[in-house]
Amino acid sequence: MSANTTAIVTISNRLGLHARPAMMLAETAMRFDADISVRRLDQDAGVDAKSIMQLMMLAAVCGTELEFTASGTDADAAMSELTALVKGNFSEDAVDDH
Amino acid sequence: MKLLDIVVKDAIDPQLAATSRDEAITMLVDRLIEAKAVDPGHRDEFISAIIKRERRGSTGFGHGVAVPHVKHPEIEKLVAAVGVSHDGIDFNSLDGNPVHSIFLIISPEQKPEEHLEAMEAVFSNLSQDTFRSFLLQATTVDHVTSLLEEADSSTLGN
């Protein structure tokens, strides 16, 4: 067992974590063996990053801070890909583009 | 956000007759128009935008559920139609299974947070086995409406 890896990122695309970004996260997360959860910093419970439905239940608008936690042999790789998606605004408009 | 804040009661079809994805989308948009929830002038635009969105990536997220949607600049208040298909419809869903529960959502383009809150309300219920099976057992608009009321007051449990 490897240790947990954690990272906090802020949703910065204008439309927030809607269906397409949620799907990008879930599809990316599913490529890894690691268990990955996502939690809003203002909530206690996290959701499974591999479930689009659960990700949609975060209602993460632009500006929401999310904590990703991954555990497993490929946790570090998973974490860097997932946080890159958020930081890259899921290839959508950032808020200040609008 | 509660389900009954967004679902238009007159746009609930507990026995959706559609046999294809595009037909289901068309019927549910027409329900919203008949219920005077959206402007009929944008009918074709809504339908083609929702279908286009589905082609880019299915909103059939598994468990027999789909949430076709569009954001439109002329919409002021988010509205949703509900369709239940007992036979199931091919939505090109992620798990390959036919779709039985459809929540079609039309939301204001300028308020992305409302769209996300509506999705949260829809999925926090649709992700529950109990809610999905009760919805499939509903045969009348009143059945669906009381199910949504129960879900809103969280009496369904998990």
Domain CATH number, residue B120: 3.40.930.10
CA-nearest residue to A53 within chain B is: B123
DSSP string, A3-61: PPEEEEEE--BTT-S-HHHHHHHHHHHHTSSSEEEEEETTSS--EETT-HHHHHTT---
| Domain ranges (residues) in chain A | 5-88
Burial of A91 from C-beta contacts in 10 A (0-12 / 13-18 / 19+): exposed
Top-level class of domain A5-88: alpha beta
Q: Smallest Cβ distance to B115: which of A18, A53, A57? A: A18
Contact A14, A60 (CB under 8 A): no
Chain pair A-B, CB pairs under 8 angstroms: 52
Residue B77 CA, chain-centre distance (Å), reads 15
Tens digit of each residue's pLDDT (9 = 90 or more) over A11-43: 999 999 999 999 999 999 999 999 999 999 999
The answer to the question of residue B133 being in a domain is: yes
Whether residues B61 and A20 touch (CB distance < 8 A) is answered with no
- For residue B32, give its domain range: 3-145
Contact B39, B56 (CB under 8 A): no
Q: Is the ipTM of this complex over 0.90?
A: no
The answer to the question of residue B151 being in a domain is: no
pLDDT at residue B156, as a whole number: 60
The answer to the question of residue B157 being in a domain is: no
CA–CA dist B118, B123 (Å, integer) = 9
pLDDT digit string (tens) for chain B, length 158 residues: 999 999 999 999 999 999 999 999 999 999 999 999 999 999 999 999 999 999 999 999 999 999 999 999 999 999 999 999 999 999 999 999 999 999 999 999 999 999 999 999 999 999 999 999 999 999 999 999 999 999 999 856 54
Q: Does B92 touch chain A (CB under 8 A)?
A: no
Whether residues A17 and B116 touch (CB distance < 8 A) is answered with yes
